[in-house]
């Protein structure tokens, strides 16, 4: 983003409800500043039911791309005309852009998660046992990405139906399991919202996680959660979900601009940034 947006400035944004506290514009604008391009990102509050006109408006207004967050990810997957294979498979889209004959849609959550694992912990999931707690949108993206990367993926969730559907995304080595599977895990992921609220239950007993394992809490506000604190007290390497947030946004920047995302600058924009509010993605 240059100093003052002008008539020539390319516009992107985030759509959702609410979006006022979204970190996405902060991440996108940090990238544009570092790249030295005349682009800007803003929040567009779009209520449930208003996604079709919002997507038509994107194309009509020449908006170059939108990050898509709650509550629109599933509906966006039905509305885009050119989904990527992963968006189609997950039935969820977190990133759209205008194309010559319609609207493209991608889901960068899974690849963002893998990129964060590599950057934060040099963790390669190939051949490793991974336990994912939760079976919602975030869990499904993580399970599919881990399965594609050659991991054995075990889904632990309170509701069996969503657990089975999520585990199916993990490929031949994907299965439904129980909390006890964590005792032999190389990686344990909290993909539930537990930890966002004060007094929330822990997603999984930290005592079940081996000291040599890696743990990722997709929750990043607050950070550290009580779960991360409990894990770290046991000597587990445990990181929050800010890395996934940064890397899924970086992949969106690359999609929209065709340029390599300046990940360091994006990290610097949100790590410990005052006013970095919660984002329900
Ligand atoms: P979601 O689609 O609503 O799914 C939530 C999952 O958590 C479901 O499987 C649900 O189980 C389970 N769950 C919810 N409350 C629970 C409770 N009290 N006890 C046990 N299980 C519970 O949510 P989501 O979009 O996947 O998001 C999950 C979390 O990931 C949120 O905190 C979100 O902010 C975070 N997230 C972070 C990033 C990032 O970039 N770091 C990206 C996406 C999401 P049932 O199936 O039984 O309902």
Identify which of 16, 22, 90, 134 to mutate to test ligand 1's pocket (most ligand atoms within 8 A of the CB): 134
3-state secondary structure of 181: helix
Residues of the chain with CATH 3.40.50.720: 110-240
Cα(71) to ligand 1 centroid in Å equals 13
Q: How far apart are CA 189 and CA 73, in angstroms?
A: 21
For 77-97, the pLDDT digits (tens) are: 999 999 999 999 999 999 999
Asked if residue 171 has its Cβ within 6 Å of ligand 1, the reply is no
- pLDDT of 279 reads 35
Asked if residue 21 has its Cβ within 6 Å of ligand 1, the reply is no
Cα(165) to ligand 1 centroid in Å equals 15
3-state secondary structure of 117: helix
Residue 146: CB atoms within 10 Å: 28
Model confidence at 272: pLDDT above 80: no
Catalytic residues, by residue number, are: 73
For 95-150, the pLDDT digits (tens) are: 999 999 899 999 999 999 999 999 999 999 999 999 999 999 999 999 999 999 99
CATH (residue range 110-240): 3.40.50.720
Cα(32) to ligand 1 centroid in Å equals 30
Q: How far apart are CA 122 and CA 115, in angstroms?
A: 9
Closest C-alpha to ligand 1, atom 32: 193
The number of the ligand 1 atom at minimal distance from the alpha carbon of 113 is 40
Cβ atoms 19, 44 nearer than 8 A: yes
Q: Of 114, 253, 80, give the one whose Cα is nearest residue 187.
A: 114
3-state secondary structure of 152: strand
CATH (residue range 10-107+247-270): 3.40.50.10860
- Structural tokens at position 230: 């409990």
Residues of the chain with CATH 3.40.50.10860: 10-107+247-270
Cα(243) to ligand 1 centroid in Å equals 17
């Amino acid at each position: 983003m240059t100093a003052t947006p002008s008539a020539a400035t390319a516009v992107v944004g985030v759509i959702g409800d609410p979006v006022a506290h979204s970190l996405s514009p902060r991440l996108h604008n940090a990238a544009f500043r570092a790249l030295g391009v005349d682009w800007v990102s803003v929040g567009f509050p779009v209520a449930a039911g208003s996604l079709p006109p919002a997507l038509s408006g994107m194309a009509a207004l020449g908006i170059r791309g939108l990050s898509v967050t709650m509550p629109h990810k599933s509906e966006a997957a039905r509305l885009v005309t050119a989904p990527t294979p992963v968006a189609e498979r997950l039935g969820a889209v977190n990133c759209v852009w205008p194309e010559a004959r319609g609207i493209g849609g991608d889901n960068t959550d899974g690849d963002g998660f893998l990129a964060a694992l590599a950057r934060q912990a040099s963790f390669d999931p190939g051949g490793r046992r991974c336990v994912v707690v939760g079976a919602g949108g975030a869990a499904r993206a993580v399970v599919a990405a881990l399965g594609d990367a050659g991991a054995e993926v075990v889904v632990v969730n309170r509701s069996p139906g969503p657990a089975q559907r999520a585990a199916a995304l993990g490929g031949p080595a994907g299965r439904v399991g129980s909390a006890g599977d964590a005792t032999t895990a190389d990686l344990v992921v909290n993909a539930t919202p537990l930890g966002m609220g004060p007094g929330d239950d822990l997603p999984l007993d930290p005592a079940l996680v081996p000291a040599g394992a890696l743990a990722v809490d997709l929750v990043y506000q607050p950070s550290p959660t009580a779960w991360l604190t409990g894990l770290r007290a046991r000597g587990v390497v445990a990181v929050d979900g800010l890395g996934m947030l940064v890397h899924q946004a970086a992949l969106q920047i690359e999609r929209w601009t065709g340029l390599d995302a300046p990940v360091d600058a994006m990290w610097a924009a949100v790590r410990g940034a005052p006013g970095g509010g919660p984002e329900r993605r």
